[in-house]
A and B are shown apart, each in its own frame.
Chain A
Amino acid sequence: MTAHNGHSEQERIGVYVCHCGSNIAGTIDVEDVARWAADKLNRRGVVIARDYKFMCSSLGQELIEKDIRELGLTRVVVAACSPHLHEQTFRVACRRAGLNPYLCELVSIREQASWVHTDKKAATEKAKAILSGGVERVIHHQPLEPLHVPIHPATLVVGGGIAGIQAALEIADAGFHVYLVEREPSIGGHMAQFDKTFPTMDCAACILTPRMVSVGTHPNITLLTWSEVVDVQGYVGNFTVTVNKKARYVKEELCTGCGICQEKCPKKVLDETFEAGLGYRKAVYTPFPQAVPKFPVIDRPNCTFFQKGTCRACEKLCPTGAIDFNQQDERLTLQVGNIILATGFDILDARRIAQYGYGRLANVFTSLEFERLSNAAGPTNGQIVLRDGVTQPKTVGIIHCAGSRDRNFNNYCSAICCMQSLKFAHLVRERTGATVYNFYIDIRTTAKAYDEFYQRVLDEGAILIRGRVAEVTDAARLPGEDGKLIIQVEDTLAGKQRRIPVDMVVLSVALEPRHDAKEVAKQFGISCSSDGWIIEKHPKLDPVATMTEGVFVAGCAQGPKDIPTSVAQGAASSARVLARIQQKEIALEPVRASVDESKCSGCRICNGLCPFNAILFHEDRMVTEINPALCQGCGTCVAACPAGAISGTVFSNEQVLAQIEGLLLQPLGALEEPVPV
C-alpha cells in the first residue's frame, strides 16, 4: 500500500465481469461484483466496470475496445475464465484498440470460484477479492514487447529411428539443412529389427529401407551415425551443438561398402543390440545388410588387432585401403536453430520379472527376440524355432503386458503390445501351425484397422485367455507337462485357475524410456516425467513441443507409441520447425528476468540457480547479466536476489505484492473491519 497509491491515480482501469452464460452468473452475482468494482475500486483507478453475458464473444471484445478508445483506458481487467483459455483473446483485443496487450489482466472467477463453490454469497465475495487482486496487480504492469530472435535455418535431429527419419526427410525436402545424429552405426532404429508391421503386415524392411536410403543420399541431410551429442549451448534459433563422431576405423571417402572386411574378419561377436543376443556379427560390421550408411565400423573392444596387436585381416584384404586403425574420435561443432529429439525407447529387461523365468528358462523369449526369430533376414532366416535352433514349437504362449500396467514395474500401458502380440500369434499360426495362446488383461486395438486385425487373428484360431499370468515354470506336476513350460494363469472369463503347457513363451515386454533419458533431457534443458518419458509442452494441444523453446520431441522418447503415431509426430515436429525457419525469427513471450546493474552487488547468489545457463557473471565489472533469449522466466533468481536487483517482467515483486494486498482487500482499508469471506 505504499508505492502504488501514486500510480493508481494516473491509471484509468476498465473492469469487465463475464457471466459466461450461467457458468459464472449461476453462482456469482456478477452485477453485484461489477457494481462493487465501480463503487469501491474507483479510488484504485477503476473508471468503468461492466458485466456482459460472454466477454470472449466478438461483441464482448468490441465493448472493451470501444471503452479503451472512448474512455482512454490505460489498463484492463477481465474477470472471467482461466487465463490459459482466453488471456490471448483479450490481449489481442487490447492491441486492436491500441493498448499494449500486456496491460491487460485476466482473473479467473470461473475455475477458481463459480465452478468450485456452492455458497453463492461466499463465491461472490471471493470473486470481488480475486478482482481486487487483479486490479492491484495490473496497476504495476508494464507495456512489453515480445522478444524477437533470429532462427538459424539448420536443424538437429537426434535419433535415426523412424520418427527421426521422418522429421529429417520432411525438413530436408522443404529445402533446409538437417544434421541427423545417431548413436548406432546405422539409422533405422527398432523398426529395422522387425519383420512385419501390424496391422497390414507389410515387411518392415520393404517400407523402411527406401526411407533410409533417401536419408543417406539427400543433399540436405548430413548423416552422423556412430555419433553422440556431447554438449548443447545457446537457445532457440541459435544453438551450438558439439557432436562426438566416434572413430569407425574405416575411411568413409574410400569405403565402397563391398563387405569383404566383414566376410574375412575372423572374430565372431554375439550381437546384443541388433540381433537381441540371438545372432552373431563380426568385429568389423554393419548391423544389417541394408544399413545406411553402408560403411562398417570396427568394434574396438572385440577387435583382435586392437586387443592383441595382430590380425589386420580387414586392412590386408580391403580392396580400396579404407581401413584406418589410427582414426581418432572427432569433435564436430554444429550451428542449428531448432532441435528434434527422437531418441526412442529401450525394452524392459525381462529378467526383472522373475516369475516369468526369462534368462532362467531357455524357451522364454522377449518380444524383440521373437521379432528377430521371425525376421527373414534374422539369425534363423525367419524360422520360428526354440532356443536349440532347430525344434519348431507345437504350442506357443504369448504374454501381453509383461511389465506394463503393473505397479511393480510400469503403471502405464505400453500401447503397442496388444497389436504386437496379435501379430506374433498370426506369424506363429502362419509359419508353424502351432497352437497359440495369448494371455491378456484387456485388448486395446483402438487405431485404424487394428480391431479388424484382432478379429482376423481370432478367426485364424489363436486362443485368447483373459488373465494376468502368475508364473511360467518348468516344474511339471500333471501328466503332459513334462519337458514343457507351464503357464499358470487365472482365466478370469472362465473363472478358474489353469495350467497350460507350452513349448515356447513370448513376453510382450514393456517399452521403457532410454536408460540415459534423464541425462539426455538435462543436456537439452528439458524435463522427463517420473516415468522417464520426455514431457511435452501440452499433452493434448502441444504434443511435440517441449517447455524449452526450439527443442521438440517425436516418437517414443515422449511415450510408448506405434509406428504410424511415431511417423505422425516426426512430421508434426518438422512442421513446427519449418514454420519457425520460414518466419526467420521468433517472437518470445517477454516473461523474462533482468538485472539492474546499479543494484547488483556481485554476490553471485543467483549464479548457480539457473538451469538454463541464462545467468552470466562479468568478472571485470562484478555484475551479473541475464541473457534474455535463454531465460525461461521461472523467476527463481528474482526470488533469490538479496539486493532486489533482479526483476521479472509480468511477475515482478511489485506485481505480486500488490496482488496479495488486493486479494486480501487491504487497499480498501479492510483492516478496519474483519476481512469478509
Chain B
Amino acid sequence: MTDSFEPVLIGFTCNWCSYRAADLAGTARVKYPPNIRLLRLMCSGRLDPTFVLKALTSGADGVLITGCHPGECHYLEQNYKALRRFLLLRRMLTQMGIEPERVRLVWASAAEGVRLAQEITSMVEEIRALGPLNWPQNGSVRQQTEVKEEPV
C-alpha cells in the first residue's frame, strides 16, 4: 500500500495572490505533482477551520492553506486572522493525534508561481512520507492500517 500511496491534498487559495500564483505557475509551465486540488476563496481570512476538517474527513491526506504575505493582504489584514486560526487549528489537530505537518500555511504573492509550486511539491513529498490519513468514517475505520503515530 505505502509503495503505491499517492496522497490527495486540498489547497485553499486566496483569489488575489496564491490563486494568481497558481495561474502564473501554469502560464510559466512550472511543474508540480498532480496530487493537489485547489479551491479558491476570496481571502485566506475566509478559511473556516471547518473547511480543513471537512477536507480531512472527506478523504484528503493533507491541506495546504495559502494567502498573501503579511502586510500585503488585499483586504488589509485578514491574513493575520487566518494565521491565528491556523495556529489554533494545528494545535487542535495535534491534540486529536493528527500530525501537524498535514496542514501547512504558505504565504505566496501573485508573483510567486515558482515558490508555490515548490511548496506544493515539498508538501506532497512530506505527506507521502507520512502515509495516508485514514480518517475514521462514521465510526468505522476506513482501512485497517494503523494511523502512524508520529512524535510531535
Contact = CB atoms under 8 A, between A and B. Distances in A.
A460 interface: no
Q: Could you say which of B40, B41, B50 has the most chain A C-beta atoms within 10 Å of its C-beta?
A: B40
Nearest to A658: B54
Nearest to B73: A527
Given A638-B48, A663-B39, A530 B29 contact: no
Interface stretch (B17-25, B90-98, B144-152): B17-25
Interface string A641-669: 00000001011010011011101111000
A348 to B, nearest CB: 20
A528 B37 CA distance: 31
A110 B54 contact: no
Contact of B20 (A84, A125, A653): A84
Interface stretch (A113-121, A148-156, A236-244, A388-396): A113-121
Given A82-B26, A84-B23, A663-B10, A651 B41 contact: yes
B105 interface: no
A100 B78 CA distance: 31
A633 B34 contact: no
Q: Could you say which of B8, B30, B51 has the most chain A C-beta atoms within 10 Å of its C-beta?
A: B8
Contacts of A59: none
Nearest to A115: B26
Contact of A122 (B20, B34, B76, B81): B34
A112 interface: yes
Contact of B45 (A108, A129, A639): A639
B6 interface: yes
B54 A116 contact: no
Contacts of A110: 26
Contacts of B34: 113, 117, 119, 122-123, 125-126, 677
Q: Could you say which of A83, A612, A664 has the most chain B C-beta atoms within 10 Å of its C-beta?
A: A664
A71 interface: no
A530 B71 CA distance: 6
Nearest to B138: A671
A636 B37 contact: no
Interface in B36-66: 37-43, 45-51, 54-55, 58-60
A130 B37 contact: yes
- Contact size class for B? 35 or more
Contact of B58 (A526, A591, A634, A661): A661
A456 to B, nearest CB: 36
Contacts of A636: 43, 45-46, 75, 78, 81
A148 to B, nearest CB: 21
Contacts, number: 150
A636 B59 CA distance: 26
A111 interface: yes
Contacts of A143: none
B117 interface: yes
A637 B40 CA distance: 17
A671 B140 CA distance: 12
B85 interface: yes
Contacts of B35: 677
A547 B54 contact: no
B72 interface: yes
A129 B51 contact: no
A399 interface: no
B117 A675 contact: no
Interface in A104-144: 108, 110-113, 115-119, 122-123, 125-126, 129-130, 133
Contacts of A657: 50-51, 54
A664 B26 contact: no
A675 B8 contact: yes
A639 B31 contact: no
A651 B73 contact: no
A529 interface: yes
B48 A525 contact: no
A660 B78 contact: no
A670 interface: yes
A591 B39 contact: no
A657 B32 CA distance: 25
Interface of A: 82-84, 108, 110-113, 115-119, 122-123, 125-126, 129-130, 133, 522, 525-530, 535, 547, 591, 609, 611-612, 632-636, 638-640, 648, 650-651, 653, 656-657, 659-661, 663-666, 670-671, 675, 677
Given A636-B43, A664-B8, 4 more contacts: A84-B20, A525-B76, A648-B42, A656-B51
21 contacts: A84-B20, A115-B27, A116-B25, A117-B31, A118-B31, A527-B74, A530-B69, A530-B72, A547-B16, A609-B81, A612-B75, A632-B75, A634-B46, A635-B41, A635-B42, A636-B46, A638-B46, A656-B39, A657-B51, A660-B60, A675-B59
**5 nearest CB pairs, A to B:** A111-B26, A635-B46, A636-B45, A634-B75, A634-B43
